[in-house]
Amino acid sequence: MFLVEMNLRLGSTGGRLGDDDVLDLIEKIVDELDHLPVEPAVDTQRVGDDLDMTIGVVVDNDDEFEALRDGAAIISAGLHSSLGEGAAAMVMRSFEGRQRSSTRVLELV
């Protein structure tokens, strides 16, 4: 099992995202990923007018590269689906010095 996390920076073309907008976005992403056989987690942090977001899912796969591929696909689909029509108002911003994705082995209890 692996925890696959992706780090994103989101901004709004219409100005700063409000607290309600951020909460709505988190709720939509979790709802979109919740029905899958993964455990979603979303963490956010404001950086000026932008929003740093880490989205993580647990992938049940023995191969790290396959887990990363599957996790990235799951997160990407969930993000695109949850943004829906609002995608036009959101823009992915590049930021240096941050990992885009990572995997960690999870210990089974």
d(CA 96, CA 51): 14
Q: Are 7 and 54 in contact (CB under 8 A)?
A: yes
DSSP state of 84: G
Residue 16 has what pLDDT? 73
What number is the average pLDDT over the span 29-41?
78
Predicted TM-score (pTM) of the model is 0.74
User: b or e along 29-55 (b: 16 or more beta carbons within 10 Å of the residue's beta carbon)?
Assistant: beebbeeeebebebebeeeeebbbbbb
Q: What is the pLDDT of residue 92?
A: 60
| pLDDT value of residue 34 | 80
Q: Is 9 exposed, middle or buried (0-12, 13-18, 19+ CB in 10 A)?
A: middle
Look up the domain containing 18 and give its range: 2-105
Can you tell me the distance from the alpha carbon of 2 to that of 65, in angstroms, rounded to the nearest whole number? 10
How many independent structural domains does the chain possess? 1
Tell me the average pLDDT across 15-32: 82
Is the dihedral angle over the CA atoms 56, 104, 3, 77 positive or is it negative?
positive
Secondary structure class of 88 (helix, strand, coil):
helix
Confidence of residue 63 (pLDDT cuts 50, 70, 90): confident
pLDDT for 108 equals: 46
Q: For position 31, which CATH number holds?
A: 3.30.70.260
